[in-house]
Amino acid sequence: MGPSGLLVALALHLAVCSRPHRDYCVLGAGPAGLQMAAFLHRAGRDYEVFERESAPGSFFTRYPRHRKLISINKRHTGKANAEFNLRHDWNSLLSDDPHLLFRHYSQAYFPDASDMVRYLGDFARRLGLHVLYNTNITHVTLDKDPQAWNGHYFILTDQKGQVYQCSVLLVATGLAVPKLVDFPGSEYVEGYESVSVDPEDFVGQNVLILGHGNSAFETAENILGVTNFVHMLSRSRVRLSWATHYVGDVRAINNGLLDTYQLKSLDGLLESDLEYLALVKDSKGKFHVTLKFLLENNSSQSADSIPLPEDDNDNFAMRVAYDRVIRCLGWTFDFSIFDQSLRLSSGTEFSKKYPLIKASYESKGSRGLFILGTASHSVDYRKSAGGFIHGFRYTVRAVHRLLEHRHHGIPWPSTEYPITQLTSSIIRRVNEASGLYQMFSVLADIILLKEHQLLPHFPSSWNTLAPSMLSG
């Protein structure tokens, strides 16, 4: 090796050794990332949040498209107990600062999304959280090192090629990749993320919406007064949150189309598997829905003689032509920045849009990689509120407590009471605790009774993870 070779080797060595190190790296300054940052900050940990946009909560600058959040902002409960009041506050993050309650940011019961953006900006600023804005982490990989807390470091590279090294990686990037459709003619389909939200653009039109969730109903609600009719199509039945008790199902605030459908208006709901569909454009620029196999049988298809599915009575509901077709199918997790060595894979069926994680929110593939926030909802999908702010603020806290214990030897918070106060302590928790209330069937308190001393050891404020997980 000549002198120049030596210099190159030295430079490389320096580059590797001088890459900035953080014990905790958080990806994304949305609600979950900021919530974790607030806990790390309060505990005095070495951390950094990486955010590709120039301010927190960028998802809420664009979504929901019609700007009305469906998370309730209940400002009055008639009670002064702050813990109890969080049971009815679906938007605030957890902090010690009473100014940082969402009730100070909006008077609306269903607030405007831009108030959430303003709230998250204030949350990061007031608490002095360490966020690197305009830093787009485009690649994450592993570097094995026996000295590292987890046997490896996470190596992050941003858009400028700057490299960072982290002992623990907390991924709070949400679900931000629109779920697409792929069938013949799917290129004619407009997406929820970019379709016009001006009702004037839909006057006198026939509209087909793909999807049966809140974004689909929100889109329908906005235009159903000016269209000829709106049809909604998806694989599964519509599920109403007032019937299922699941906050992610269609909420009463969005179900105007169900009203008009049930009252025999022209609007309608249809069920079909989207993967069997095909869309054909006729000479007038209108769209016809048919089935893929009907097209596949005939290659000499002219757009104006489209074979339609028929039944005995020939009343195929979608015989009409549509002026536009809109896809509102939700989002999936962005797996693309994670190197294969991290073994971050998706689940199957319902959890396909989520990364696979354990009950502790740690990735099944890499120790020290945790998924926080909306993308962690596979743990309690369709069961509890872990996909939403009012749920994941508590599961983020649980992950933080787990890390405090694992890496800093700090035990899970608890309080001791004399046995005589056991019943009243339990009743108080049942009447007040917000984390257990929002994350029912996921978080729990554990009561340990000390032998001989008649002193129950009672975990305080404190939701622990489900007992099965702790004992396992």
Ligand X SMILES: *[C@@H]1O[C@H](CO)[C@@H](O)[C@H](O)[C@H]1NC(C)=O
Compute and round to an integer the Cα radius of gyration of the chain: 26
**265, 305, 453, 461: residue in contact with ligand X (rule CB under 6 A):** 305
Q: What is the closest distance, in whole angstroms, from the C-beta atom of residue 103 to ligand X in the complex?
A: 31
Total residue length of the chain: 472
What DSSP designation does 34 have?
H
Left if phi > 0, otherwise alpha if psi is -120 to 50, otherwise beta: which for 4? alpha
From CA 187, how far away is CA 190, in angstroms rounded?
A: 8
Residue 144, burial from CB neighbour count under 10 angstroms (0-12, 13-18, 19+): exposed
Q: How far is the CB of 295 from ligand X (least distance, A)?
A: 10
Q: Which of residues 312-371 bind ligand X (CB under 6 A)?
A: none
Shortest approach of ligand X to residue 304 CB, angstroms? 8
Instruction: Output the smallest distance, CB 28 to ligand X, in A.
Output: 12
53-82: contacts with ligand X (CB under 6 A): 53
What contacts 24+ positions apart, CB below 8 Å, involve 14-22?
Answer: 15/163, 19/155, 19/163, 19/164, 19/165, 20/164, 20/165, 21/153, 21/164, 21/165, 21/166, 21/167, 22/46, 22/47, 22/48, 22/164, 22/165, 22/166, 22/167
What are the CA-CA distances from residue 86 to residues 51, 92, 117, 210, 402 (Å)?
Answer: 27, 8, 20, 35, 23
Instruction: For ligand X, give the closer residue by CB, 300 or 423.
Output: 300
- Which helix (H) or strand (E) segment is 234 a member of? strand 229-234
Q: Which residues pair with 209 in a beta bridge?
A: 232, 326
Min CB(333)–ligand X separation in Å: 14
* CA pair distance 406, 352, nearest whole angstrom: 30
Which residue in 81, 265, 302, 340 binds ligand X (CB under 6 A)? 302
- Of 162 and 431, nearer to ligand X (C-beta) is 162
Q: What minimum distance in Å lies between the beta carbon of 298 and ligand X?
A: 4
Contact status: 300 vs ligand X (CB under 6 A):
yes
Among residues 53, 65, 46, 62, which one has the least CA distance to residue 29? Answer: 53
Given candidates 77, 107, 136, 265, which one binds ligand X under the rule CB under 6 A?
136
Burial (CB count <10 Å: 0-12, 13-18, 19+), residue 418: exposed
Closest approach, Cβ 37 to ligand X, in A, equals 19
Binding residue for ligand X, selected from 22, 45, 52, 429, defined by CB under 6 A: 52
DSSP-derived pairing of the beta strands 206-210 and 229-234: parallel
As a whole number of angstroms, the distance between CA 179 and CA 172 comes to 19
Closer to ligand X by CB, 220 or 279: give it. 279
Pick the closer one to ligand X by CB: 10 or 303. Answer: 303
Interface with ligand X, residue 421, by CB under 6 A: no
Q: Closest separation between CB of residue 336 and ligand X, Å?
A: 7
d(CA 236, CA 220): 17
For 114, list phi and psi in degrees, rounded to 5: -70, -25
Whose Cβ is closer to ligand X: residue 23's or residue 53's?
53
CB nearer to ligand X: pick between 295 and 399: 295
CB of 61 to ligand X, least distance (A): 12
Is position 194 an interface residue for ligand X (rule: CB under 6 A)?
no
Identify which range of 38-46, 69-77, 301-309, 421-429 contacts ligand X by CB under 6 A.
301-309
Contact window for ligand X (CB under 6 A) among 124-132, 181-189, 294-302, 393-401: 294-302
Beta carbon of residue 306, minimum distance to ligand X (angstroms, whole number): 8
Stretch that binds ligand X, among 31-39, 74-82, 299-307, 374-382 (CB under 6 A): 299-307
Binder to ligand X among 244, 262, 298, 441 (CB under 6 A)?
A: 298
Pick out residues in 142-181 that bind ligand X (CB under 6 A): 159
Residue 464: which of 417, 398, 410 has the closest Cα?
Answer: 398
Number of residues that bind ligand X (CB under 6 A): 11
Q: Which window, 20-28, 293-301, 396-404, 442-450, contacts ligand X (CB under 6 A)? A: 293-301
Least Å distance between CB 137 and ligand X? 8
Cis peptide before 64 (omega within 30 of 0): yes
Q: Which is nearer to ligand X, 53 or 323 (CB)?
A: 53
Name which of 241, 293, 22, 278 is nearest 132 in CA terms.
Answer: 22
For ligand X, give the closer residue by CB, 220 or 295: 295
Give contact residues for ligand X (rule: CB under 6 A): 52-53, 136, 138, 159, 297-298, 300-302, 305
